[in-house]
Structure 1
Amino acid sequence: MDRLTEMEAFATVVDQGGFTDAAKKMGISKSAVSKHISSLEARLGARLLNRTTRRVSPTEIGLAYYDRARRVLNDAGEADALVTSMQSAPSGLLRISVATDFGVNHLSPVLGEFLRQFPDVTVNMVLNNRHVELISEGFDMAIRVGAPEGSPLLSRKLTETAQRMVASPGYIAAYGRPSRIDDLNDHKLLHYSNLDSGNVWRLTAPSGEQRQIRTAGWLSVNDGQSLLNAAISGLGIAYLPSFLCAEALAKGLVEDAMPDLPPDLQGIYAVYPPGRFTQPKVRAFVDFLEAAFRDKGPLEW
């Protein structure tokens, strides 16, 4: 007889407290349940059940076997559920957290195509500039810039961006172009106030040396688009991701203030909670984004 069916019959008898109820639970005859148990005990060479006219209970050996058997049966059930889930069509509410600048400029424009491809999915996209706690705050996934080092979350790299130091042609004409990192101390710097590093730009010199420049004092904003607008209007030099400033660079509204600096490349990742399997709606969206951004970055946006 099938070993897993024997195991299921035994566990069900223990769960239900008898052969009659176990047979009803499994949808087979009482005699079939009895044959499965007899075959299992014969194969193991041990009595697993105490049988009386009034009740059935596991022996000491049977109780130990039941614990292991129930784990095996639960794992088998989860394996079946995994296959079913992975083949099911994506559906339901997909709640996403994404940084405002990337969400407005690059995620929003592609959402329509995703929803057309998967009409049974609804999307709630939350724009914010902080790392939300996905599980406790009820998010299915997030799009984040920078490698998720030390995070228990699962992640998939979608593309890359590069930090660019930009200023308007008018600003460069009025104040000159910095030729060395130290020259930035004499310039008007526009700072993104939500940086993990605080009021500091961490830069790599052409020699490869890592440098830090303090940026507080002229203008600090917690929104990248506002900093780009300030740079375009000639207020100073901003240090921005290429996914935000590439179009302004292409149109000549700003230019690279220090083109000799090595690009600071950062990955853009889809992150989602770990689990035994990924929900179809999450898997479908991550696959979609990977294809949508395949030809993007790190400088071309």
Structure 2
Amino acid sequence: MDRLTEMEAFATVVDQGGFTDAARKMGISKSAVSKHVSSLEARLGARLLNRTTRRVSPTEIGLAYYDRARHVLNDAGEADAMVNAMQSEPNGLLRISVATDFGVKHLSPVLAGFLHQFPEIQINMVLNNRYVELISEGFDLALRVGDLEDSTLRARKLATTSKRMIAAPSYLEKFGHPKRIDDLSDHKLLHYSNQSSGNLWKITAPSGEKRQVRTGGWLTVNDGQSLLNAAKTGLGIAYLPSFLFEDALGRGDVVEVLPDLPYDDLGIYAVYPPGRFTQPKVRAFIDFLVREFSAEKQAMSA
């Protein structure tokens, strides 16, 4: 007899508490269930069930075998579900979390191309500037820029951007151009309040040493676009990823501060909950972003 079917019959008898209910659950006859269990006991050379006229219960060795058999059966069920899912067309609701800055500038413009390619998927994109709890808050994936804080999530790198200091020419004319990192302590540094490092900038010195600079200025805000706007109006120096300020830099609204410092690179990642296989809708979206953002990597890291 088939070993997996024997396991299933035995485990179902234990789950249901008897042969009659197990037969009903499996959709086969009671005698067939009994034959499967008897064949399993004969092959193992051990009695797995205590049988009385009123009830059926596992023996001590049967209970130990049940625990392992249930794991095997669950794994087999997951394997079948994985194959079915991977062969199915991506569909259903895809719930995404993304920082407002990146979502507006880089994600929103490519969504139409994805949805035309996968018309059975619906997207709910939530723009916010905090790290959401993917599983507890019901998100399928998130796009994140910079160091990943939660190592339990799966991640795929999409692109790289660089982080640099910028300010308006009017600010530098009024307060002067810093010549070295130590000079920043005499300037108004615009602070991003959602930064994991607190009110510190971590800057790479020409020697490669990581320096920390305490920020303090006229404005603290949890939105990168707002920091850029503040920098453009001359409120201070901002330290931002290049995808945010590249257009303003090209127009001359801002200029780089300490441009000779090494660039600090930031990874752009798609993160999603751990699991034995990735849902087709999530896999399709991530593959799409990899293709889309590979064409933009030059601009993001410029």
Hey, what does 1:44 align to over in structure 2? 44
In structure 1, distance between residues paired with 2:119 and 2:21: 44
The answer as to 2:5 corresponding to 1:5 is yes
Hey, what does 1:95 align to over in structure 2? 95
Question: Are residues 69 and 200 of structure 1, via their aligned partners in 2, closer, same or farther at CA, if it must alter by over 3 Å?
Answer: closer
- Give matches, 1:1-150, under 5 Å: 1-50=1-50, 57-149=57-149
Hey, what does 1:215 align to over in structure 2? 215
SS class of match (2:281): helix
Conserved in 2, the CA contact under 8 Å of 1:147 and 1:269?
no
Question: Are residues 249 and 46 of structure 1, via their aligned partners in 2, closer, same or farther at CA, if it must alter by over 3 Å?
Answer: same
In structure 2, distance between residues paired with 1:132 and 1:70: 34
In structure 2, distance between residues paired with 1:94 and 1:289: 14
**Cα RMSD after superposing both structures:** 2.6
- Give matches, 1:272-283, under 5 Å: 272-283=272-283
Conserved in 2, the CA contact under 8 Å of 1:243 and 1:297?
no
Per-residue CA distance 1:4-53 (angstroms, 9 max, x = gap): 12222333344445545544433344454444333323222233345566
- Give matches, 1:138-217, under 5 Å: 138-149=138-149, 151-217=151-217
**One-letter amino acid matched to 2:217:** G
Q: Which stretch of the first structure deviates more once superposed, 58-67 or 159-168?
A: 58-67
Kindly state the Cα deviation for residue 238 of structure 1 after the two structures are TM-superposed: 1.8
Percent identity over the alignment is 75
Conserved in 2, the CA contact under 8 Å of 1:23 and 1:30?
yes
**One-letter amino acid matched to 1:44:** L
Q: Which segments of 5 or more consecutive residues in structure 1 lack a partner in the other structure?
A: none
Kindly state the Cα deviation for residue 172 of structure 1 after the two structures are TM-superposed: 4.1
Kindly state the Cα deviation for residue 191 of structure 1 after the two structures are TM-superposed: 2.8
Q: Which stretch of the first structure deviates more once superposed, 123-132 or 226-235?
A: 226-235
In structure 1, distance between residues paired with 2:109 and 2:263: 26
Per-residue CA distance 1:123-165 (angstroms, 9 max, x = gap): 1111111112222222222111122145322211111111111
Hey, what does 1:258 align to over in structure 2? 258
Hey, what does 1:245 align to over in structure 2? 245
In structure 1, distance between residues paired with 2:185 and 2:41: 83
In structure 1, distance between residues paired with 2:176 and 2:267: 32
Kindly state the Cα deviation for residue 241 of structure 1 after the two structures are TM-superposed: 0.6
SS class of match (1:152): coil
Kindly state the Cα deviation for residue 170 of structure 1 after the two structures are TM-superposed: 4.1
Kindly state the Cα deviation for residue 92 of structure 1 after the two structures are TM-superposed: 1.9
Q: Which segments of 5 or more consecutive residues in structure 2 lack a partner in the other structure?
A: none
SS class of match (2:190): strand
In structure 2, distance between residues paired with 1:241 and 1:33: 64
Question: Are residues 71 and 263 of structure 1, via their aligned partners in 2, closer, same or farther at CA, if it must alter by over 3 Å?
Answer: same
Alignment size in residue pairs: 301
Kindly state the Cα deviation for residue 261 of structure 1 after the two structures are TM-superposed: 0.7
Q: Which stretch of the first structure deviates more once superposed, 291-300 or 46-55?
A: 46-55
In structure 1, distance between residues paired with 2:109 and 2:33: 59
In structure 2, distance between residues paired with 1:149 and 1:291: 25
> TM-score, normalising length from structure 2?
0.87
SS class of match (2:182): helix
**One-letter amino acid matched to 1:281:** K
- Give matches, 1:222-237, under 5 Å: 222-237=222-237
